[in-house]
Amino acid sequence: MTSTAVLRSARDMVPDGTQEAIRKATRAVGQVTAGVRMLPDLIVAGAQRCGTTTLYRLLVEHPAIVRPLFHKGIGYFDVGYDHPWSWYHGHFPVAAVAAARTARVGRPMTFDSSGYYMFHPLAAERIAKRLPDVKVVTLVRDPVERAFSAYKHELARGFETEDFETALALEPERLAGEVERMRADPSYQSFHHRHHAYVGRGRYAEQIIRLRQALPPEQVMVIDANLFFAEPVEQFARLQEWLGLPVHNPEKVEQANARPSKPMPDSIRSMLLDTFESSDVELAGLLGTTPSWRL
């Protein structure tokens, strides 16, 4: 069992109330000591249900990477932007402690991860304003499968009550005007935009363009998650080389958060394939290659 798995197992045995108390105490200490802490070299920006948790676990196992404090998702640039900068800064390791930990392999790196950053209409410009030199990696998966996976995820969490076909039909109505409202009032948090954008989140091209307009394009990397699932060691090595890290090959890669279920009806699959066609063509232009799910 890896050290990350051991830590997850230990956390699972701690009652939820105690975990939250630990989080609050950790954040309070972090905020007070923000001035001596690192800021992220890398942001994993999404997309949701595209392997971000699997990538997170690979990153925290790397000997030159020191993980953010206690939990995966900080969520500062999407739903937590009302917090002071010191709150965000306080989530990361103390620089001197991190340097001592990674002394044998080089300078330490740390990172932030949120599956909503990529889709949130304000996150890219917020990231660029606060962290103009940060590198951003996104994972994109067959958007048809992503939509169904996201639906199952929201259903399991109690944020969705409709069947898949109905949820897809309701999406335009649910999301109507939400982006405009978020831009007009940056403090507004849209429940529907966050939880019910099954098709919207799969239109990857427009989201990648937004990131590349906010940051220098060479600071934004896109990984085809279907390839990442098929050859995780090779794809992870490519990411490490891009980051300038010594390449660390994990012993084992387990896909996280998979939700088995009945197959998607063929009629819905066909409809979604047509829906995503133009976006996938635009994505191919951005990547310089056809996405794996369109081959």
Domains and CATH numbers, the chain: 21-294 (3.40.50.300)
Listed as own residue / partner, the contacts of 175-182 with beta carbons closer than 8 Å and 24 or more positions apart are: 175/200, 179/121, 182/120, 182/121, 182/122
* Long-range pairs, 231-236, Cβ under 8 A, ≥24: 232/54, 232/58, 236/55, 236/58
pLDDT of residue 35: 86
- Per-residue pLDDT of 76-88, as tens digits, reads 999 999 999 999 9
pLDDT above 90 as % of the chain: 81
How do residues 94-149 score in pLDDT, each as one tens digit? 999 999 999 999 999 999 999 999 999 999 999 999 999 999 999 999 999 999 99
